[in-house]
Structure 1
Amino acid sequence: MKLVRVGKVGAERPGIIDAEGNIRDISSIVDDIDGTALSSQSLAELSAMNLDDFPRLDGDRFGSCISGVGKIICVGLNYVDHASESGFVAPKEPVLFMKASTSLCGAFDNVEMPVGGEKLDYEVELGVVIGKTAKNVSVENAAAHIGGYCVFNDVSERAFQLEGTGQWLKGKSCDTFGPCGPWLVTPDEVKDISNLDLQLTVNGELRQTANTRDMIFGVPELISYISRFMTLQPGDLIASGTPAGVALGMKPPVYLKPGDTMELSIEGLGQQKQTIV
Structure 2
Amino acid sequence: MNPPPYLPSGTVYGTLLNFRREHALWAPRMHEAPYKAPPLAPVLYIKTANTFTRCGHAIVLPTGVDEVEVSASLGLVAGEGGEVAGCVLLADVAVPHASYYRPPVKYHNVDGFLGVGDVVRPVAELGGLGGLAALTLELRVDGVVRQRVSLQDMLRDAATLWADVNAFQSMRPGDVLMVGTDCLDDGSRPRARAGDSVEVTATGLSPLTNHFVQEMTA
1:189 aligns with 2:137: no
More deviation in 215-224 or 87-96?
A: 87-96
Root-mean-square deviation over aligned CA pairs: 2.6
Three-state SS of the structure 2 residue aligned to 1:232 is coil
- Residue in 2 that maps onto 1:221: 160
Three-state SS of the structure 2 residue aligned to 1:115 is coil
Cα distance between partner residues in 2 of 1:92 and 1:198: 27
Cα distance between partner residues in 2 of 1:67 and 1:210: 23
Give 1:72 shift: 1.1
Q: Which has the higher contact order (CA 8 A, sep 6+)?
A: 2
Give 1:95 shift: 2.0
- Residue in 2 that maps onto 1:96: 44
- Residue in 1 that maps onto 2:108: 172
Give 1:200 shift: 0.3
TM-score, normalization by structure 1 = 0.64
1:76 aligns with 2:12: no
Three-state SS of the structure 2 residue aligned to 1:249 is coil
Cα distance between partner residues in 2 of 1:133 and 1:173: 29
Percent same amino acid at aligned positions? Answer: 22
113 and 83 in structure 1: CA distance in 2 versus 1, 3 angstrom threshold: farther
Specify which structure has the higher proportion of strand: 2
Whether the 8 Å contact between 1:122 and 1:246 is mirrored in structure 2 is no
Give 1:246 shift: 8.9
Given candidates 107, 110, 115, the residue that maps to 2:63 is: 115
Q: Which runs of 5+ in 2 are unaligned?
A: 28-37, 214-218
Alignment of 1:46-85 (within 5 A): 63=5, 65-69=6-10, 71-84=11-24
79 and 91 in structure 1: CA distance in 2 versus 1, 3 angstrom threshold: farther
Cα distance between partner residues in 1 of 2:86 and 2:108: 23
Whether the 8 Å contact between 2:16 and 2:180 is mirrored in structure 1 is yes
Give 1:167 shift: 4.1
1:131 aligns with 2:79: yes
Larger radius of gyration: 1
- Residue in 1 that maps onto 2:202: 266
Whether the 8 Å contact between 2:77 and 2:174 is mirrored in structure 1 is yes
Three-state SS of the structure 2 residue aligned to 1:193 is helix
Q: Which runs of 5+ in 1 are unaligned?
A: 1-23, 27-61, 135-144
93 and 100 in structure 1: CA distance in 2 versus 1, 3 angstrom threshold: same
Three-state SS of the structure 2 residue aligned to 1:112 is strand
Whether the 8 Å contact between 1:208 and 1:246 is mirrored in structure 2 is no
Give 1:168 shift: 3.2
- Residue in 1 that maps onto 2:93: 155
129 and 275 in structure 1: CA distance in 2 versus 1, 3 angstrom threshold: same
Give 1:247 shift: 9.5
Cα distance between partner residues in 1 of 2:59 and 2:120: 20
Give 1:98 shift: 1.4
Given candidates 173, 192, 195, the residue that maps to 1:234 is: 173
Three-state SS of the structure 1 residue aligned to 2:61 is coil
